Amino acid sequence: MKKALYIGFVIILLFSGKYVQAQVSHFSQFYSNPLTIAPSFAGYTGKTRIALNYRDQWPGIAGPGTFVTYSVGADHYFQRAKSGVGILAFRDQAGSGNLSLTEIGAMYSYVLKFGKKSGRRNTRWFLRPGLYFKYSQRSINFGKLTFSDMFDTQGNLVNATIEQPPLPSIGYLDFSSSLLAYAENFWAGFTVDHLLRPDQSLNGSVARLPMKLAVYGGYRHLLGSKGRRKNYGKERESITFTAHYRIQGADQSFKSNAYYDQLDIGAYWTHDPWVIGTWVRGLPVVGTPDDTYNSLDAIIVLIGFKVNQKLRIGYSYDATVSNLLSHTGGAHEISITYIFDQNKSKKRNHRKAIVPCPSF
């Protein structure tokens, strides 16, 4: 019964107007499907690509499959138009009441080139603005929730709740934009999401989504000699350092308890066909506004394998290190990506559009 009451309480907080921003979903393998980060990544490989992600969050709280997130993305680069297009379908489901967010949208990016490459001297870099239009639907199954007034003193479920049911679902349009700059071994960018600030309330009040800002970037350090793996058609060995920061709902003072922010920082080691990564999620030097919890949330480990030049598979695990350590069961995540071959005669031109971020 305690578990049922706990889950019901969490769900009510999530769909109420005051706390609705608490449902913030994310992927640990954000570069396995970077369309979830920014529309500027549409067509970022210079080829046609399909990516699938599945995340099972906190199976120790309410059992496997209770807090899950899925995404399916596809993108393509048009060389002559210097443009990338993509589509993204996303679903997040939280709790026994099936509080869910479903999104589908289309995105576009354009590539601007600056500088030039002359011999060993390379001053060439790229700027990539992006736009993303999406339709979102938030819903809940009120009949699956339980409340304290439904139980007698012995803990038996005997009554119907007096709580008024909310709307079963609500749909709205939203929009985001981004800007990405990159060179041969470096990239940095930002995304502003929820620019339309849609009302997502299910209970008749007004609950507008606060805008969210994401800032991200990284640097790839190549290892070994340049031609060491060239004859075998393999990716050159490297270590890639990355950071990804998100903040949503903050006021100018950054003192409100309502805002949310998060930092992922770590590194990937690529030794074709393997990719191994580890990073930290949270703000380890900053506590929560009331100092109840340290903001260090999890340590993430990743292992990825390139089956062939087209297919890649990745698995990651989030090991919780906050005060919830003994309750959550961490998080499991799986990614599958497939890259389609294009005209080999265009291979040189395609490489001009490639962002040097990791593959997982």
In a domain? residue 332? yes
List Cα–Cα distances, 316 to 91, 263, 279, 281, 302, in angstroms.
19, 17, 11, 13, 4
**Could you tell me if residue 34 is inside a domain?**
yes
Answer whether residue 358 is part of any domain. no
Classify 17 as helix, strand or coil. Answer: coil
Local structure of 271: helix, strand or coil: strand
**Residue 182 near residue 168 (C-beta atoms within 8 A):** no
Token pair in block for residue 63:
């059992």
At residue 14, the pLDDT reads 40
Structure confidence at residue 115 as a pLDDT band (50, 70, 90)? confident
Q: Is residue 356 in a domain? A: no
Q: How confident is the model at residue 151 (pLDDT cuts 50, 70, 90)?
A: confident
Residue 165 pLDDT > 60, yes or no?
yes
Of residues 297 and 47, more confidence is placed in: 47
Tell me the pLDDT band of 293, cut-offs 50, 70 and 90: very low
Whole-model pTM? 0.83
How many whole angstroms separate alpha carbon 110 and alpha carbon 295?
Answer: 37
Give the chain's domain count: 1
pLDDT (tens digit per residue) in 327-345: 677 899 999 999 997 555 4
The pLDDT of residue 7 is above 50: no
User: Residue 54's CB: how many other CB atoms inside 10 A?
Assistant: 15
Averaged over 165-192, what is the pLDDT? 93
Q: Pick 195 or 25 by higher pLDDT.
A: 195
Measured CA distances, 164 to 140, 143, 309 (Å)? 13, 11, 55
104 CB-near residues (< 8 Å, 6+ apart)? 87, 88, 89, 90, 134, 135
Q: How confident is the model at residue 231 (pLDDT cuts 50, 70, 90)?
A: very low
Among the ranges given (106-110, 262-266, 284-288), the one the predictor scored with the smallest mean pLDDT:
284-288
In a domain, 117, yes or no: yes
131: domain CATH number is: 2.40.160.40
Residue 108 predicted with pLDDT over 60: yes
Would you place residue 64 in the very low, low, confident or very high pLDDT band (cuts 50, 70, 90)? Answer: low
Considering the domain boundaries, does residue 357 fall inside one? no
Q: pLDDT: is 300 or 164 the higher one? A: 300
Residue 97 lies in a domain: yes
pLDDT at 16: 39
* Cβ–Cβ under 8 Å, residues 178 and 40: yes
Provide mean pLDDT across the span 129-144.
90
Q: Within a domain: residue 32?
A: yes
**What percent of the chain has a predicted confidence (pLDDT) above 90?**
49
How many angstroms separate the CA atoms of 132 and 212, rounded?
Answer: 14
- The sign one gets for the Cα dihedral 322, 334, 355, 274 is positive
Q: Is the pLDDT of residue 42 over 50?
A: yes
Give the domain extent around 274. 2-351
Q: Residue 257: pLDDT band by 50, 70, 90 thresholds?
A: low
8 Å CB contact between 47 and 53? no
Amino acid, res. 229: R
